[in-house]
Amino acid sequence: MTTGQATERVAIVTGGSGGIGGAAAQRLAADGMKVVVHYAGGAAKADQVVESITAAGGVAIALPGDVADPAEMGQLFDTVQERFGGVDVVVNTAGIMLLAPVAEMDLDAFDRMHRVNVRGTFVVSQLAARRLRPGGALINFSTSITRLQPPTYAAYAATKGAVEAMTLILAREMRGRDVTVNVVAPGPTATALFLDGKTEEQIDRLAAAPPLERLGTPEDIAESVAFLAGPGRWVNGQVIYANGGIG
């Protein structure tokens, strides 16, 4: 959307220093939204996203915070409120992926992943539920792995199954607020998170799996985000599988 309304809208993108988060931030900025690029440890990358947006004529700032810490994220929402007057869109891409077979998964790693992916999503969703303005949208992130079920992904998929459950219930709890709540579930996407630790052969095999015969790009996923954040007002309480038809 490039209407006057869109130029007044404000979006927070958690994990905005990452591949999908950065692409989503830039795509929403291209639609005229003022964008807050959240980061945890990637300050330099978040600044790069902000610079890219401002160079293209958009408005963006980078803000830090631990998504699982309600005080830190509450402060982030307060800062956005003070700076821009409110929040209309929250895109929650922040997450980590730690892989191992169930029999070998380190439970400290399991707990760390649940803290970020489940508790973090819950904290941000709670704040969004309290603060999103009418006409707003919350977009959480799952994964197509919940359908594909490959070995070593059980703990990660469990966190995303939890994200889907809480998000779809929240959509029903937001009755009367004129706020949509959805999940985007990407398939194999060419990001650092996905490519790390994979051989060229593994990457080629995954790229050949979808009928479209390629990996997704962060920009592909950002288009789904832009649709749900803008014109897709009648899509609510859904999981959108952005995966090129892989499953």
Catalytic residues: 156
Residue with tokens 């404000």: 10
**What does the alpha-carbon distance between residue 59 and residue 16 come to, in Å, rounded to a whole number?**
14
Q: Which two tokens stand for residue 62?
A: 């980078």
**What does the alpha-carbon distance between residue 19 and residue 16 come to, in Å, rounded to a whole number?**
8
Spell out the residues 6+ positions from residue 180 whose beta carbon is closer than 8 angstroms to its own. Answer: 136, 137, 138, 171, 228, 232, 233, 235, 236
133 residue type, one letter: R
Helix (H, G, I), strand (E, B) or coil at 101: coil
Spell out the residues 6+ positions from residue 199 whose beta carbon is closer than 8 angstroms to its own. Answer: none
**What does the alpha-carbon distance between residue 93 and residue 139 come to, in Å, rounded to a whole number?**
8
| Residue 180 main-chain phi, psi, to 5 deg | -90, 150
